[in-house]
Homo-oligomer: A and B are copies of this chain.
């Protein structure tokens, strides 16, 4: 394996997003434009759009095939390279990853990464038709049904109750109620979670992320140039990406792709799970967050629930997880999700996260996505580790 890495070669200098929600009144391009302008505005010492030398767009189902040029139309950035990346629910973070390669290589001084998804409109229809067709055709399961199987297997193996899993939803909705950009801004109790209609046993309505539109953008530069743009850059320390399938063994209580991606990212960053101060992780369903605690090395197998019960992962805890409300409350506009996680961690590491600012003076942050595909037997995971300058 090559010994070179991304570590300390790329700085995030700006980050912005739009309020997630059911955005029927915004086009795909309008969402890109607003997230981009918010990212531009966040650059402390200013950045001229002419300095942006390349762009990456993360989106799962754009309104048309040639989606790179949509970013140009939305931002006015023509004449530069624009690449679309797609990697299921890890789409946004993988777009960020590829942008980091080009900037770390020194090919571009400044690059833009935008993640966007219109789930409730045209694109969402296509996503739903495709997902349902593929999943039903292949395995007879939809996404909630698939994660319901994971939840059942986990509950059985580790003797965990629905009440315990509900603590994920309660925590994330509590954070989301405080987070200005979240789709759902209300708290819910364990009782609310348990009383909600089942979507797919044992997962009820509050165990499932909503169908959400949104966009997010980050501006990155070569690390040595960061001080031109801000005195508070955030550096990319590690990146990992991996695929895996349940056909190759294991049970449904772990996503091995996350383990591989996390190992790559930890090794590149030279840090361990214990070093992480704050994380945005992929809670598409409540059970996914619980399993991911373990796959990311935050807890031994079957013991993730302790992090919730002991308050460690709460906003005030020693390792707050999903201060933004996570996918459960903030929403999960596929292509935007990973980029929005990075936006949030950028603000957390700079102490600018407002009502959801964590209290442990974070130095190191972890971002995590998981994606399911190939008739639910294969998965992908992407992990980034970010650090304060």
Contacts and interface: CB of A to CB of B under 8 A. Distances in A.
10 contacts: A6-B107, A63-B134, A65-B131, A73-B374, A78-B244, A78-B245, A79-B257, A81-B242, A81-B261, A83-B241
Interface in A92-108: 94, 97-98, 101-102, 104-108
A83 B98 contact: yes
A81 to B, nearest CB: 4
A67 interface: yes
Given A69-B374, A98-B101, 16 more contacts: A2-B109, A6-B105, A63-B134, A64-B130, A66-B372, A67-B86, A67-B88, A70-B373, A78-B245, A78-B248, A79-B244, A81-B242, A81-B264, A82-B241, A85-B98, A98-B102
What's the dominant secondary structure at chain A's contact region?
A: mixed
Contacts of A252: none
Nearest to A240: B81
B101 A69 contact: no
Number of copies: 2
A373 B88 contact: no
B64 A245 contact: no
A379 interface: yes
Nearest to A263: B79
A285 interface: no
Interface string A5-24: 11000000000000000000
Contacts of A105: 4, 6, 101, 104-105
B371 A66 contact: yes
Q: Which 3 A-B pairs have the closest CB atoms?
A: A66-B373, A4-B106, A66-B88
A80 interface: yes
A73 B378 contact: yes
Interface residues of A, number: 70
A380 interface: yes
Contact of A85 (B84, B261, B264): B84
Contact of A2 (B63, B108, B245): B108
B69 A243 contact: yes
Given A81-B240, A84-B87, A101-B98, A107 B70 contact: no
Given A244-B78, A248-B78, A69 B2 contact: no
Contacts of A102: 98, 101
A87 B109 contact: no
B243 A78 contact: yes
A130 B129 CA distance: 14
A153 interface: no
Interface of A: 1-6, 53-54, 60-61, 63-73, 77-89, 94, 97-98, 101-102, 104-109, 127, 130-131, 134, 222, 240-245, 248, 256-257, 260-261, 264, 371-375, 378-380
A2 B243 contact: no
Given A81-B240, A98-B98, A106 B2 contact: yes
A65 B243 contact: no
Nearest to A80: B242
Given A260-B79, A373-B65, A243 B72 contact: yes
Nearest to A264: B81
Contacts of A371: 66
